[in-house]
Amino acid sequence: MMGEKVGAVVVTTDEESFDVDAVIAHCRGRIADFKVPQYVSVRTDPLPRNPGGKILKKQLREETQWGGALR
């Protein structure tokens, strides 16, 4: 209600055969409802990282096309 909406970026080798609904079902069975992603973006490129190996979250947010909410 007061925070950000949850999104997940999934890196896979084959976007065509990836099942987003299976990921959501897996999350629903294991974590609290408010933590289940409302948006899922699938990509084949590796996540952007700095030289130390940390994910560059700002760059990832700018690069990602989220689409519509799943729930």
The backbone torsions φ and ψ at residue 59, rounded to the nearest 5 degrees and listed phi first, read -65, -40
CA distance 56 to 53: 9
DSSP letter at 16?
Answer: T
Residue 21 inside a domain? The answer is yes
Is 44 a member of any domain? yes
- Long-range contacts made by residues 63-66, C-beta under 8 angstroms, separation at least 24? 64/7, 64/9, 65/41, 66/7, 66/39, 66/41
Domain count along the chain: 1
Is residue 41 assigned to a domain? Answer: yes
Taking the whole predicted model, whether its pTM rises above 0.75 is answered as yes
Question: Domain range for residue 33?
Answer: 7-63
Residue 56 lies in a domain: yes
pLDDT along the chain (71 residues), means of 10: 84 88 94 93 94 96 86 73
**Residue 1 confidence (pLDDT):** 59
Identify how many contiguous H helices and E strands the chain contains and give both numbers.
Answer: 2, 2
- Which pLDDT does position 27 carry in this prediction? 94
